[in-house]
Amino acid sequence: MVKKYRSGIIGLGRIGFLFQFDKKREQPASHSYALFKNKRISIVAGCDSDQERLNKWKSFYKKSKTYLSYENMLKEEDLDIVTIAVNEKSHLEITLNTIEKKPKLIILEKPVAVNLKDAYLIKEKSEKYNVPILVNHPRRYSNHYINLKKILENKEIGEIHSVIASLWSGLKIWKKDCSINGNCSLIHDGTHIIDIIQYLFNIDLSSPNIDKIIKKDEDLDSIFLHYNSDMSPYVVYLEISGNKKYFGFDIDIRGSLGRIIIGNGYFKIYKRDKSKLYSNFYSLYKKFDYSNKKLKYFSNMIDNAVNFLDGKEKIFSTLDDGIKSLESIYKIVEKDSLFLY
């Protein structure tokens, strides 16, 4: 008989549960539904401070117990996997208490914590109790970005010359209480773009050069940075903008033989070929468009968790990876005093 892993979820908000009702999102789009869809996992318990939400969750996961207190859930249930999908400011307390119960694996929503002090405390305790933590950076598990990494490793667009990345968000870039509650674009969304660049190119983004800062009505509106890396011959350019009217996330990769543009909902590859416009010239032409392919980011993440527990795979998005992203974000904050006010 195939072993099933017992799982419990702390936090049944958007990413924990409610996104499974978004008809526009590729499903599964929540921790609950992703765990439920995996045949190797049994959801035995869910916890949330909102009783009405608990009741709604129970109507879908009828065989599972519900708890208003995560302490009671951890005390009463013998869990192999504990998913923590609460607000960033609650990560420290809940994660530290969960570690003490020694589950086989914790799945922790990004970012690891709202500040580095909290992140290092989580790391220290996870090592003390030998509890592994998978940080849910979903783009690491997206088929688009998994395929992109293989394309880059195979040098299908030649040698990389530049990486131009952009993040637009409706949140403010930074405010002084962000290191307490995490409610700003650099912490909430910046972890995504920093992490995926470090993952794709195996480079360190902890030494930013700030080129320009734009303020609007005393708020930081946009910040433009570049990174020089001794590990690679190219430069990474990054724009992070807040207070915007749409969410934008894209990476433009220029190589000696082609170009790749990837973002939310699109993944296109252009390659060098004889020009149709000019004699004795070469131009770029779209060769592949993977935009409509399934991403399977949540399914792949849960598969990785199961395979890790089976001893077949390493964790593809580790606690150290999550902390590295947070360190890079706080290097940006520390670089210019404007961020401190």
Q: What is the pLDDT of residue 163?
A: 95
Q: Which of 177-181, 196-200, 227-231 has the lowest mean pLDDT?
A: 227-231
Q: Assess contact for 186 and 195: CB atoms under 8 A.
A: no
Question: 302-316: per-residue pLDDT in tens?
Answer: 999 999 999 999 999
Distance CA 251, CA 146 (A): 14
Q: Kindly report the number of other CB atoms within 10 A of residue 307's CB atom.
A: 15
Distance CA 41, CA 286 (A): 41
Which is higher by pLDDT, 213 or 145?
145
Give the model's confidence band at 231: pLDDT under 50 very low, under 70 low, under 90 confident, else very high: low
Q: Domain spanning 5-137+297-317: which CATH class is it, in words?
A: alpha beta
Is residue 328 over pLDDT 50? Answer: yes
Question: 69-96: per-residue pLDDT in tens?
Answer: 999 999 999 999 999 999 999 999 999 9
Is residue 294 over pLDDT 80? Answer: yes
Mean pLDDT throughout 170-179? 84
For the chain, report the end-to-end CA distance as a whole number of angstroms.
59
DSSP run (H or E) holding 220: strand 219-228
Mean pLDDT throughout 241-263? 95
Mean pLDDT throughout 220-227? 88
Give the model's confidence band at 243: pLDDT under 50 very low, under 70 low, under 90 confident, else very high: confident
Is residue 61 over pLDDT 60? Answer: yes
Closest CA to 44 of 101, 13, 15, 4: 4
Question: Which one-letter DSSP state was computed for residue 226?
Answer: E
What is the 3 state secondary structure string of 121-137? Answer: HHHHHHHHHCCCEEEEC
Give the model's confidence band at 334: pLDDT under 50 very low, under 70 low, under 90 confident, else very high: confident
CA-angle at 292, arms to 305 and 162, nearest 5°: 80
Q: Is the whole model's pTM more than 0.75, yes or no?
A: yes
Q: Assess contact for 66 and 47: CB atoms under 8 A.
A: yes
Q: Which of 106-115, 209-218, 320-329 has the lowest mean pLDDT?
A: 209-218
Q: Domain spanning 140-295+325-340: which CATH class is it, in words?
A: alpha beta
Q: State the average pLDDT for the chain.
A: 93
Domain positions in the chain are: 5-137+297-317, 140-295+325-340
Verify cis geometry, omega within 30 degrees of 0, for the bond prior to 28.
yes
What are φ and ψ of residue 197, in 5° steps?
Answer: -65, -45
Give the model's confidence band at 340: pLDDT under 50 very low, under 70 low, under 90 confident, else very high: very low
Question: Which one-letter DSSP state was computed for residue 26?
Answer: P
Mean pLDDT throughout 89-106? 97
Tokens of 235: 């430069």
Mean pLDDT throughout 256-284? 96
Q: Sort strands 258-263 and 41-47 into parallel, antiparallel or unpaired.
A: unpaired
